[in-house]
Structure 1
Amino acid sequence: MPRVQLPAVTPKRRAWNKGRLVGQKRPLLPKQVWAIRARLELTGNLRDLALFNVAIDSKLRGCDLVSLKTSDLIRDDRLRERVSIVQSKTNKPVQFELAENTLATVTNWIKSPEMMGCQFMFPSRFHDRPHISTRQYGRLVRDWVISIGLEPSGYGTHSMRRTKVAEIYRKTGNLRAVQLLLGHTKIDSTVRYLGVELEDALSIAERIDI
Protein backbone atom coordinates (compact mmCIF):
# COMPACT_ATOMS: atom_id res chain seq x y z
CA MET A 1 0.00 0.00 0.00
CA PRO A 2 1.49 3.36 -0.98
CA ARG A 3 2.34 5.67 1.87
CA VAL A 4 0.25 8.81 2.19
CA GLN A 5 2.27 11.96 2.78
CA LEU A 6 0.43 14.07 5.33
CA PRO A 7 1.01 17.80 5.44
CA ALA A 8 3.41 18.97 8.10
CA VAL A 9 1.73 20.29 11.19
CA THR A 10 3.31 23.31 12.81
CA PRO A 11 2.65 23.35 16.55
CA LYS A 12 0.74 26.40 17.67
CA ARG A 13 2.68 28.78 19.84
CA ARG A 14 0.96 29.75 23.03
CA ALA A 15 -0.18 33.35 22.84
CA TRP A 16 1.97 35.52 25.08
CA ASN A 17 -1.13 37.10 26.63
CA LYS A 18 -3.17 33.94 27.12
CA GLY A 19 -4.64 33.95 30.59
CA ARG A 20 -3.36 37.46 31.27
CA LEU A 21 -5.28 40.67 31.65
CA VAL A 22 -3.75 43.06 29.15
CA GLY A 23 -4.44 46.65 28.28
CA GLN A 24 -4.38 49.80 30.31
CA LYS A 25 -3.57 49.35 33.98
CA ARG A 26 -5.83 50.95 36.55
CA PRO A 27 -4.66 53.87 38.68
CA LEU A 28 -4.74 53.47 42.44
CA LEU A 29 -7.51 55.15 44.40
CA PRO A 30 -6.50 57.56 47.19
CA LYS A 31 -7.55 55.06 49.89
CA GLN A 32 -5.40 52.39 48.22
CA VAL A 33 -2.42 54.75 48.12
CA TRP A 34 -2.77 55.38 51.85
CA ALA A 35 -3.19 51.66 52.56
CA ILE A 36 0.05 50.77 50.77
CA ARG A 37 1.85 53.71 52.36
CA ALA A 38 0.71 52.61 55.84
CA ARG A 39 1.95 49.05 55.27
CA LEU A 40 5.36 50.25 54.09
CA GLU A 41 5.62 52.56 57.11
CA LEU A 42 4.78 49.67 59.46
CA THR A 43 7.46 47.44 57.94
CA GLY A 44 10.03 50.24 58.19
CA ASN A 45 11.12 49.72 54.57
CA LEU A 46 12.63 53.15 53.89
CA ARG A 47 13.67 52.49 50.31
CA ASP A 48 10.31 51.10 49.18
CA LEU A 49 8.41 53.85 50.98
CA ALA A 50 10.53 56.54 49.31
CA LEU A 51 10.21 54.78 45.95
CA PHE A 52 6.44 54.50 46.29
CA ASN A 53 5.96 58.14 47.28
CA VAL A 54 8.29 59.49 44.60
CA ALA A 55 6.57 57.29 41.99
CA ILE A 56 3.16 58.73 42.88
CA ASP A 57 4.33 62.36 42.99
CA SER A 58 6.70 62.31 40.01
CA LYS A 59 4.33 60.55 37.58
CA LEU A 60 7.46 59.30 35.78
CA ARG A 61 7.78 56.30 33.53
CA GLY A 62 9.48 53.38 35.24
CA CYS A 63 12.72 53.80 33.28
CA ASP A 64 13.06 57.42 34.39
CA LEU A 65 12.01 56.73 37.97
CA VAL A 66 14.53 53.96 38.69
CA SER A 67 17.39 55.98 37.19
CA LEU A 68 16.81 59.11 39.30
CA LYS A 69 20.04 60.37 40.81
CA THR A 70 20.42 61.94 44.23
CA SER A 71 21.62 65.08 42.45
CA ASP A 72 18.23 65.26 40.68
CA LEU A 73 16.46 65.71 44.00
CA ILE A 74 19.12 67.49 46.06
CA ARG A 75 20.69 70.85 45.36
CA ASP A 76 22.96 72.75 47.75
CA ASP A 77 22.36 70.04 50.38
CA ARG A 78 18.62 70.69 50.29
CA LEU A 79 15.80 68.59 48.87
CA ARG A 80 14.07 70.26 45.98
CA GLU A 81 10.28 70.59 46.11
CA ARG A 82 10.15 70.94 42.35
CA VAL A 83 12.30 68.78 40.11
CA SER A 84 12.97 68.83 36.37
CA ILE A 85 14.44 65.90 34.43
CA VAL A 86 14.84 64.96 30.77
CA GLN A 87 12.68 61.99 29.82
CA SER A 88 14.54 59.10 28.22
CA LYS A 89 11.68 58.27 25.84
CA THR A 90 11.10 61.73 24.39
CA ASN A 91 14.36 63.47 25.30
CA LYS A 92 12.23 66.37 26.52
CA PRO A 93 12.13 67.86 30.02
CA VAL A 94 9.28 67.29 32.44
CA GLN A 95 8.75 68.82 35.85
CA PHE A 96 7.20 67.38 38.97
CA GLU A 97 6.58 68.38 42.56
CA LEU A 98 7.32 66.48 45.76
CA ALA A 99 4.68 66.66 48.48
CA GLU A 100 5.62 67.28 52.10
CA ASN A 101 5.11 63.63 53.04
CA THR A 102 7.33 62.51 50.16
CA LEU A 103 10.07 64.98 51.12
CA ALA A 104 10.06 63.53 54.64
CA THR A 105 10.36 59.91 53.47
CA VAL A 106 13.08 60.78 50.94
CA THR A 107 15.02 62.60 53.67
CA ASN A 108 14.85 59.55 55.93
CA TRP A 109 15.97 57.30 53.09
CA ILE A 110 18.90 59.50 52.05
CA LYS A 111 20.13 59.65 55.65
CA SER A 112 20.06 55.85 56.02
CA PRO A 113 23.35 53.86 56.05
CA GLU A 114 22.32 52.06 52.83
CA MET A 115 22.56 55.32 50.91
CA MET A 116 26.09 56.25 51.94
CA GLY A 117 28.06 57.14 48.80
CA CYS A 118 25.21 56.19 46.45
CA GLN A 119 24.84 58.12 43.22
CA PHE A 120 21.34 56.83 42.46
CA MET A 121 18.22 57.33 44.56
CA PHE A 122 17.23 53.68 44.41
CA PRO A 123 20.44 51.63 44.22
CA SER A 124 20.32 47.96 43.37
CA ARG A 125 21.30 45.39 45.95
CA PHE A 126 23.17 43.56 43.20
CA HIS A 127 26.75 44.75 42.78
CA ASP A 128 26.64 44.64 38.97
CA ARG A 129 23.76 47.13 38.73
CA PRO A 130 23.91 50.81 39.69
CA HIS A 131 20.17 51.05 40.40
CA ILE A 132 17.10 48.83 40.55
CA SER A 133 15.80 47.65 37.18
CA THR A 134 12.38 48.38 35.72
CA ARG A 135 11.62 44.67 36.09
CA GLN A 136 12.44 44.80 39.79
CA TYR A 137 10.31 47.92 40.11
CA GLY A 138 7.45 46.03 38.46
CA ARG A 139 7.81 43.20 40.98
CA LEU A 140 7.69 45.70 43.84
CA VAL A 141 4.49 47.26 42.47
CA ARG A 142 2.99 43.78 42.25
CA ASP A 143 3.92 43.11 45.88
CA TRP A 144 2.44 46.43 46.97
CA VAL A 145 -0.96 45.86 45.35
CA ILE A 146 -1.14 42.27 46.56
CA SER A 147 -0.41 43.44 50.12
CA ILE A 148 -3.70 45.34 50.21
CA GLY A 149 -5.74 42.61 48.54
CA LEU A 150 -5.86 43.89 44.94
CA GLU A 151 -5.70 41.65 41.88
CA PRO A 152 -2.16 42.21 40.53
CA SER A 153 -3.05 41.58 36.89
CA GLY A 154 -5.02 44.83 36.86
CA TYR A 155 -2.11 46.98 38.04
CA GLY A 156 1.45 47.72 36.99
CA THR A 157 4.12 50.39 36.93
CA HIS A 158 1.89 52.60 34.77
CA SER A 159 -0.67 52.50 37.58
CA MET A 160 1.80 54.52 39.61
CA ARG A 161 2.30 56.99 36.76
CA ARG A 162 -1.46 57.40 36.27
CA THR A 163 -2.58 57.60 39.90
CA LYS A 164 -2.08 61.28 40.66
CA VAL A 165 -3.03 62.59 37.22
CA ALA A 166 -6.22 60.51 37.25
CA GLU A 167 -7.18 62.21 40.51
CA ILE A 168 -6.24 65.65 39.13
CA TYR A 169 -8.35 65.03 36.04
CA ARG A 170 -11.26 63.72 38.11
CA LYS A 171 -11.29 66.84 40.28
CA THR A 172 -10.54 69.49 37.64
CA GLY A 173 -11.16 68.06 34.18
CA ASN A 174 -8.02 69.95 33.09
CA LEU A 175 -6.49 67.85 30.31
CA ARG A 176 -3.84 70.44 29.50
CA ALA A 177 -2.50 70.34 33.05
CA VAL A 178 -2.38 66.55 32.92
CA GLN A 179 -0.60 66.68 29.55
CA LEU A 180 2.11 68.92 30.99
CA LEU A 181 2.54 66.80 34.11
CA LEU A 182 2.93 63.61 32.09
CA GLY A 183 5.26 65.24 29.58
CA HIS A 184 3.10 64.27 26.60
CA THR A 185 3.77 66.15 23.37
CA LYS A 186 0.21 65.68 22.08
CA ILE A 187 -3.09 66.09 23.89
CA ASP A 188 -4.38 63.01 22.01
CA SER A 189 -1.85 60.90 23.90
CA THR A 190 -3.16 62.26 27.19
CA VAL A 191 -6.76 61.54 26.21
CA ARG A 192 -5.89 57.93 25.37
CA TYR A 193 -3.72 57.56 28.46
CA LEU A 194 -6.48 58.68 30.79
CA GLY A 195 -9.12 56.73 28.90
CA VAL A 196 -11.23 59.86 28.48
CA GLU A 197 -14.53 59.01 26.85
CA LEU A 198 -17.06 61.23 25.09
CA GLU A 199 -19.32 61.26 28.14
CA ASP A 200 -16.42 62.58 30.24
CA ALA A 201 -15.74 65.32 27.72
CA LEU A 202 -19.42 66.31 27.58
CA SER A 203 -19.76 66.40 31.37
CA ILE A 204 -16.73 68.70 31.55
CA ALA A 205 -18.18 70.95 28.86
CA GLU A 206 -21.48 71.15 30.73
CA ARG A 207 -19.71 72.61 33.78
CA ILE A 208 -18.18 75.43 31.73
CA ASP A 209 -20.37 78.46 31.23
CA ILE A 210 -19.22 81.30 28.98
Structure 2
Amino acid sequence: MGHKPPLKAKEIWSIWVRVQVAHRIRDLALSNLALDSKLRACDLVALRVDDVALNGRVRPRASVIQRKTGPTVQFETTEHTREAVGRWLEKKELHKGEPLFPSRINRARPITTGQYARLLASWLRVIGLDSLASGTHSLRRTKASMTYRRTGNLRAVQLLLGHTKIKSTVRYLGIDVDDALLIAEQVEI
Protein backbone atom coordinates (compact mmCIF):
# COMPACT_ATOMS: atom_id res chain seq x y z
CA MET A 1 0.00 0.00 0.00
CA GLY A 2 2.84 2.42 0.80
CA HIS A 3 2.59 5.99 1.97
CA LYS A 4 -0.70 7.77 1.49
CA PRO A 5 0.09 11.08 -0.20
CA PRO A 6 -0.71 14.47 1.34
CA LEU A 7 -3.74 16.29 0.02
CA LYS A 8 -3.38 19.38 -2.15
CA ALA A 9 -4.55 22.80 -0.99
CA LYS A 10 -7.39 22.85 -3.55
CA GLU A 11 -8.59 19.47 -2.26
CA ILE A 12 -8.63 20.75 1.32
CA TRP A 13 -10.57 23.82 0.27
CA SER A 14 -13.06 21.64 -1.63
CA ILE A 15 -13.64 19.54 1.48
CA TRP A 16 -14.12 22.64 3.63
CA VAL A 17 -16.59 24.17 1.19
CA ARG A 18 -18.62 20.96 0.99
CA VAL A 19 -18.83 20.41 4.76
CA GLN A 20 -19.73 24.07 5.31
CA VAL A 21 -22.48 23.98 2.69
CA ALA A 22 -23.82 20.80 4.31
CA HIS A 23 -23.68 22.51 7.76
CA ARG A 24 -21.48 19.69 9.12
CA ILE A 25 -20.00 21.63 12.03
CA ARG A 26 -18.25 18.62 13.54
CA ASP A 27 -16.69 17.62 10.22
CA LEU A 28 -15.35 21.12 9.65
CA ALA A 29 -13.87 21.27 13.15
CA LEU A 30 -12.41 17.77 12.82
CA SER A 31 -10.86 18.34 9.38
CA ASN A 32 -9.40 21.71 10.38
CA LEU A 33 -7.96 20.36 13.61
CA ALA A 34 -6.53 17.31 11.82
CA LEU A 35 -4.63 19.61 9.48
CA ASP A 36 -3.45 22.10 12.09
CA SER A 37 -2.46 19.56 14.72
CA LYS A 38 -0.72 17.11 12.39
CA LEU A 39 -1.67 14.41 14.92
CA ARG A 40 -2.05 10.72 14.24
CA ALA A 41 -5.67 9.57 14.10
CA CYS A 42 -5.44 7.90 17.55
CA ASP A 43 -4.25 11.16 19.14
CA LEU A 44 -6.71 13.35 17.24
CA VAL A 45 -9.83 11.41 18.25
CA ALA A 46 -8.56 11.17 21.85
CA LEU A 47 -8.44 14.97 22.27
CA ARG A 48 -10.41 16.34 25.18
CA VAL A 49 -12.03 19.76 25.31
CA ASP A 50 -9.41 21.04 27.75
CA ASP A 51 -6.60 19.98 25.38
CA VAL A 52 -7.60 22.74 22.96
CA ALA A 53 -9.86 25.11 24.90
CA LEU A 54 -9.72 27.08 28.12
CA ASN A 55 -12.90 28.57 29.61
CA GLY A 56 -14.79 27.95 26.38
CA ARG A 57 -12.20 29.67 24.17
CA VAL A 58 -10.11 27.70 21.71
CA ARG A 59 -6.42 28.34 22.28
CA PRO A 60 -4.09 29.48 19.50
CA ARG A 61 -1.60 26.79 20.60
CA ALA A 62 -1.99 23.45 22.27
CA SER A 63 0.12 20.47 23.21
CA VAL A 64 -0.57 16.79 23.72
CA ILE A 65 1.41 13.70 24.62
CA GLN A 66 1.57 11.34 21.67
CA ARG A 67 0.36 7.83 22.43
CA LYS A 68 2.61 6.05 19.94
CA THR A 69 5.95 7.67 20.75
CA GLY A 70 5.42 9.40 24.09
CA PRO A 71 6.85 12.89 23.55
CA THR A 72 4.71 15.99 23.82
CA VAL A 73 3.96 17.68 20.53
CA GLN A 74 2.79 21.27 20.20
CA PHE A 75 0.58 22.62 17.45
CA GLU A 76 -1.01 25.87 16.38
CA THR A 77 -4.67 26.39 15.68
CA THR A 78 -5.43 28.84 12.90
CA GLU A 79 -8.20 31.37 13.27
CA HIS A 80 -10.30 29.31 10.85
CA THR A 81 -9.85 26.25 13.09
CA ARG A 82 -10.52 28.16 16.30
CA GLU A 83 -13.82 29.42 14.87
CA ALA A 84 -14.87 25.95 13.66
CA VAL A 85 -13.95 24.23 16.93
CA GLY A 86 -15.58 27.04 18.93
CA ARG A 87 -18.85 26.59 17.00
CA TRP A 88 -18.63 22.82 17.60
CA LEU A 89 -18.10 23.31 21.36
CA GLU A 90 -21.14 25.62 21.52
CA LYS A 91 -23.38 23.35 19.46
CA LYS A 92 -22.64 20.22 21.50
CA GLU A 93 -22.28 22.12 24.81
CA LEU A 94 -18.99 20.35 25.47
CA HIS A 95 -17.11 21.00 28.70
CA LYS A 96 -13.71 20.39 30.26
CA GLY A 97 -12.79 16.72 30.52
CA GLU A 98 -15.20 15.57 27.81
CA PRO A 99 -14.05 14.15 24.47
CA LEU A 100 -13.76 16.88 21.84
CA PHE A 101 -15.41 14.59 19.30
CA PRO A 102 -17.75 12.38 21.35
CA SER A 103 -19.33 9.20 20.09
CA ARG A 104 -23.02 9.41 19.24
CA ILE A 105 -23.59 6.20 21.20
CA ASN A 106 -21.73 7.13 24.39
CA ARG A 107 -20.91 10.83 24.87
CA ALA A 108 -18.26 9.96 27.47
CA ARG A 109 -16.19 8.18 24.81
CA PRO A 110 -14.62 9.71 21.68
CA ILE A 111 -15.33 8.64 18.12
CA THR A 112 -13.10 5.79 17.01
CA THR A 113 -10.23 6.02 14.56
CA GLY A 114 -12.35 3.87 12.25
CA GLN A 115 -15.18 6.40 12.38
CA TYR A 116 -12.72 9.20 11.64
CA ALA A 117 -11.37 7.21 8.67
CA ARG A 118 -14.91 6.66 7.35
CA LEU A 119 -15.66 10.40 7.69
CA LEU A 120 -12.51 11.27 5.76
CA ALA A 121 -13.40 8.71 3.08
CA SER A 122 -16.83 10.32 2.71
CA TRP A 123 -15.27 13.80 2.39
CA LEU A 124 -12.92 12.52 -0.30
CA ARG A 125 -15.70 10.81 -2.25
CA VAL A 126 -17.80 13.99 -2.17
CA ILE A 127 -15.02 15.94 -3.90
CA GLY A 128 -14.41 13.16 -6.42
CA LEU A 129 -11.22 11.62 -5.01
CA ASP A 130 -10.47 7.94 -4.58
CA SER A 131 -10.97 7.31 -0.87
CA LEU A 132 -8.60 4.33 -1.03
CA ALA A 133 -5.71 6.49 -2.30
CA SER A 134 -5.76 8.74 0.79
CA GLY A 135 -6.22 8.13 4.49
CA THR A 136 -6.06 9.79 7.88
CA HIS A 137 -2.28 9.99 7.54
CA SER A 138 -2.82 12.07 4.40
CA LEU A 139 -4.23 14.84 6.58
CA ARG A 140 -1.36 14.48 9.07
CA ARG A 141 1.11 14.65 6.20
CA THR A 142 -0.56 17.58 4.36
CA LYS A 143 0.43 20.60 6.43
CA ALA A 144 3.81 19.06 7.30
CA SER A 145 4.58 18.65 3.59
CA MET A 146 3.38 22.17 2.78
CA THR A 147 5.52 23.57 5.59
CA TYR A 148 8.57 21.74 4.32
CA ARG A 149 7.99 22.77 0.70
CA ARG A 150 7.55 26.41 1.69
CA THR A 151 10.45 26.66 4.14
CA GLY A 152 12.81 23.77 3.48
CA ASN A 153 13.18 23.56 7.26
CA LEU A 154 13.31 19.87 8.01
CA ARG A 155 14.01 20.37 11.72
CA ALA A 156 10.86 22.48 12.13
CA VAL A 157 8.75 19.78 10.48
CA GLN A 158 10.41 17.16 12.68
CA LEU A 159 9.34 19.11 15.79
CA LEU A 160 5.81 19.66 14.47
CA LEU A 161 5.33 15.95 13.82
CA GLY A 162 6.95 14.92 17.09
CA HIS A 163 9.52 12.70 15.41
CA THR A 164 12.57 11.87 17.51
CA LYS A 165 14.81 11.15 14.51
CA ILE A 166 15.33 13.42 11.51
CA LYS A 167 15.67 10.27 9.40
CA SER A 168 12.04 9.44 10.21
CA THR A 169 10.92 12.87 9.03
CA VAL A 170 12.87 12.56 5.77
CA ARG A 171 11.28 9.17 5.11
CA TYR A 172 7.84 10.42 6.19
CA LEU A 173 7.92 13.37 3.80
CA GLY A 174 9.40 11.30 1.00
CA ILE A 175 12.25 13.74 0.50
CA ASP A 176 14.70 12.87 -2.23
CA VAL A 177 17.58 14.52 -4.09
CA ASP A 178 15.17 16.36 -6.42
CA ASP A 179 13.52 18.04 -3.43
CA ALA A 180 16.90 19.14 -2.10
CA LEU A 181 17.88 20.52 -5.51
CA LEU A 182 14.62 22.49 -5.82
CA ILE A 183 15.31 24.14 -2.47
CA ALA A 184 18.92 24.88 -3.43
CA GLU A 185 17.80 26.44 -6.71
CA GLN A 186 15.74 29.00 -4.80
CA VAL A 187 18.79 30.25 -2.91
CA GLU A 188 20.86 32.89 -4.67
CA ILE A 189 24.18 34.23 -3.46
Aligned position for 1:30: 9
Point out where structure 2 has 5 or more consecutive residues left out of the alignment: none
Q: Please say which of residues 74-83 and 23-32 is displaced more in the overlay.
A: 74-83
How far did residue 158 of structure 1 move? 0.2
Output the CA distance in 1 between the equivalents of 2:22 and 2:94.
18
Instruction: Give RMSD over aligned pairs.
Output: 1.8
Q: Please say which of residues 71-80 and 165-174 is displaced more in the overlay.
A: 71-80
Q: For residues 42 and 118 of structure 1, do their structure 2 counterparts lie closer, same or farther at Cα, with a shift above 3 Å needed?
A: farther
Q: Deviations over 1:107-143 (max 9, x none)?
A: 1000014647870100011228701001111111111
Aligned position for 2:64: 85
Aligned position for 1:71: 50
Output the CA distance in 2 between the equivalents of 1:44 and 1:115.
18
> Segments of 4+ in structure 1 off by > 3 A?
113-118, 205-210
Aligned position for 1:10: none
Letter of the aligned partner of 1:162 in structure 2? R
- Name which of 158, 163, 171 aligns with 1:179: 158
1:91-106 residue pairs with structure 2 within 5 A? 91-106=70-85
Structure whose CA Rg is larger: 1
Aligned position for 1:164: 143
Letter of the aligned partner of 1:189 in structure 2? S
1:144-159 residue pairs with structure 2 within 5 A? 144-159=123-138
Aligned position for 1:124: 103
Output the CA distance in 2 between the equivalents of 1:42 and 1:128.
26
- SS in structure 2 of the partner of residue 154 of structure 1: coil
Output the CA distance in 1 between the equivalents of 2:63 and 2:106.
28
How far did residue 39 of structure 1 move? 0.4
Point out where structure 1 has 5 or more consecutive residues left out of the alignment: 1-21
Aligned position for 2:34: 55
Output the CA distance in 1 between the equivalents of 2:90 and 2:73.
27
Is contact 2:25-2:84 (8 Å) kept?
yes
Q: Please say which of residues 74-83 and 39-48 is displaced more in the overlay.
A: 74-83
Q: For residues 100 and 158 of structure 1, do their structure 2 counterparts lie closer, same or farther at Cα, with a shift above 3 Å needed?
A: same
- Residues paired across the two proteins, number: 189
Output the CA distance in 2 between the equivalents of 1:137 and 1:165.
20
How far did residue 200 of structure 1 move? 1.1
TM-score of the pair, normalised by structure 2: 0.94
Letter of the aligned partner of 1:31 in structure 2? K
How far did residue 26 of structure 1 move? 1.2
